[in-house]
Amino acid sequence: MRTSLLRTTAACCSLAVVAVSVLVGCGSDDDQDAASTTTARATTSAASPRVDAAATQAITQAYTTFFDGSVPPDKRAALVESGDIFLPILQAQSQNPQSSGTTVTVAAVKSTGANSADVSYTLLMGGNPVLPDQTGQAVNQNGTWKVAAATFCALLAIQGGTSTAC
């Protein structure tokens, strides 16, 4: 039954990508980032608390690696909060050929605390934006910046999937 749920989750990945754009972030209040490039970059907004350059780079790297469908699931799990709980889901998703073409660009990183940040990003499939101008979160756990579980849980919820981490 669990295997069936994981396969269903993986099969629904492409549907979730479209649905997340509607439910998670229909827009951004950061108009200056509307003309994003296809390469990952990070900036900070003058109106928000600054994230130092090293943290910005680490957060950007965590996002770009985690959302890169060609990266092995175990490496992706290491870059998401509660990754050990999400590993079976990431393994199932890696079996979906569409997921291997998934990447992300990071447009901005804004501090929300010493160990947390908001991340503006665009999810791409095959190099084409499918979820533009999304807002997710990053958390610092034991000195490592990771994609927040809440960000990944929002994507899973759209797919109809669940996890004990959510």
CATH number for position 76: 3.10.450.50
pLDDT at 69 over 50: yes
The region of weakest confidence among 9-23, 60-74, 105-119, 126-140 is: 9-23
Instruction: Print the domain residue range for 56.
Output: 2-159
Number of folded domains that form the chain:
1
Please tell me the predicted confidence (pLDDT) of residue 13.
37
Please tell me the predicted confidence (pLDDT) of residue 49.
64
Closest CA to 88 of 163, 141, 1: 163
Percent of the chain with pLDDT over 70: 70
Exposure letters 49-65 (e unless 16+ CB within 10 A, then b):
eebeeebbebbbebbbb
Within-domain flag for 65? yes
Q: What is the DSSP letter of 80?
A: B
If you average pLDDT over residues 29-46, what whole number do you get? 37
Within-domain flag for 165? no
Within-domain flag for 72? yes
Within-domain flag for 166? no
Give all strands (DSSP E) within the chain, no chain letters.
102-113, 116-125, 128-141, 144-147
Within-domain flag for 103? yes
Please, are residues 136 and 36 in contact by the beta-carbon 8 Å criterion? no
Between 128 and 14, the more confident residue is: 128
Please, are residues 117 and 58 in contact by the beta-carbon 8 Å criterion? no
Please tell me the predicted confidence (pLDDT) of residue 9.
36
Within-domain flag for 105? yes
Within-domain flag for 44? yes
Please tell me the predicted confidence (pLDDT) of residue 37.
33
Question: What pTM does this model have?
Answer: 0.71
Query: Residue 73 and residue 166: Cα distance in Å, rounded?
Result: 18
Please classify residue 89 by burial: count the beta carbons closer than 10 Å to its beta carbon, then call 0-12 exposed, 13-18 middle and 19+ buried.
buried
Rg of the Cα atoms in the chain? 15
Q: What is the mean pLDDT of the chain?
A: 76
What pLDDT digit, counting tens, does each position of 101-152 carry?
999 999 999 999 999 999 999 999 999 999 899 999 999 999 999 999 999 9
